[in-house]
Amino acid sequence: MSPISMAQYDVYVTCNECGGVHPMGMGIYLENGPLDKQNISDTYQGRSLPPQVQAIKGHKTLCLKTGKQFIQEDNRQVFLVPVKWKSADLDPVFPRRSEDS
């Protein structure tokens, strides 16, 4: 087993309004997350979702094209995109949030 490392991920969601893919504006840290862009459904098939991922659910994303906010409920349309690998002790976990409105 390799030592535990946490990877930072940006969260992207397929837009209900325009059909594009937008960043949710949240960064999360995951152990054993996907090495490449992958949707939540595939990543955690048969496993329980970690709390960081559960917290994504119901989070509003702003569509930059239409200016509307939407909530993506389908885990197949929510993507984890690795930012870079880093060791667990470098940074505390501070989810970046876009504006809460």
Residues 9-38 that bind Zn ion (CB under 5 A): 15, 17-18, 20
* Shortest distance, position 93 Cβ to Zn ion, whole Å: 28
Residues 49-78 that bind Zn ion (CB under 5 A): 63, 65
Helix/strand/coil (H, E, C) string of the chain?
A: CCCCCEEEEEEEEECCCCCCEEEEEEEEEEECCCCCCEEHHHHCCCCCCCHHHHCCCCCEEECCCCCCEEECCCHHHEEEEEEEEECCCCCCCCCCCCCCC
Q: Which residue, 37 or 65, is less far from Zn ion as judged by CB?
A: 65
Q: Which residue, 6 or 11, is less far from Zn ion as judged by CB?
A: 11
> What residue ranges bind Zn ion (CB under 5 A)?
15, 17-18, 20, 63, 65
